[in-house]
Amino acid sequence: MMTQGPNLIGIHTNTKENEETQKFVNWFLNTSLTWDNNESKTPAQYFTESASYILPLKETFTGSNNKGQSGKNDGKNSNNTFKAKALELFKEQSENKIVGYSDPSDFRGGKFRESIGSAFNATVNSHVDFNTFVANFRANLGSGYDK
């Protein structure tokens, strides 16, 4: 399974910036605010609903303390079939039933995703086997990925 989304990458710089990053994460996950529709929810809950995003927290999959998801839009109770399926796959990943892959935060990430799409489209349209799919994918990536 390919995973993708906003990432919070912690990079140690200095004590002051580390503390400010911790304050932001605490605010994002734990501070309840009133939003446009007069509902009270955390910024994480607002973000997940607005972006149809699944916040990868333990609570999302166990149902306890639901910091990142608010009930009506958590994927389980959503009319969004894609989000419900994604939640199911993430749950399987959290139980080590499947392996997730996330491309590294790198300037080449877009090229990598575009190459997967191109190779997949070529495979679907021409009914080629898996080995041909991989060969097409590698060809689309170019020599910069050959390591």
pLDDT tens figures, 48-61? 888 888 887 777 77
Could you list the residue range(s) of the whole structural domain that residue 128 is in?
A: 100-146
Of residues 127 and 78, the one with the higher pLDDT is 127
For the chain, how many structural domains are there in total?
1
Say yes or no to pLDDT of 11 above 60: yes
- CA-to-CA distance for 83 and 76, rounded, in angstroms? 8
Say yes or no to pLDDT of 92 above 80: yes
Q: Is residue 10 part of a domain?
A: no
Quote the strand ranges of 2-146, DSSP E.
Answer: 33-34, 40-41
Where is 49: in which H helix or E strand?
A: helix 43-51
Q: Percent of the chain, pLDDT > 70? A: 84
- CA-to-CA distance for 91 and 60, rounded, in angstroms? 9
Q: Is residue 60 part of a domain?
A: no
Least confident of 13-22, 57-66, 126-135: 57-66
Q: Is residue 114 part of a domain?
A: yes
What's the mean pLDDT in 107-130? 82
Q: Is residue 127 part of a domain?
A: yes
Q: Is residue 138 part of a domain?
A: yes
pLDDT reported for residue 9: 73
Return the number of other C-beta atoms located less than 10 Å from residue 27's C-beta.
13
pLDDT reported for residue 72: 46
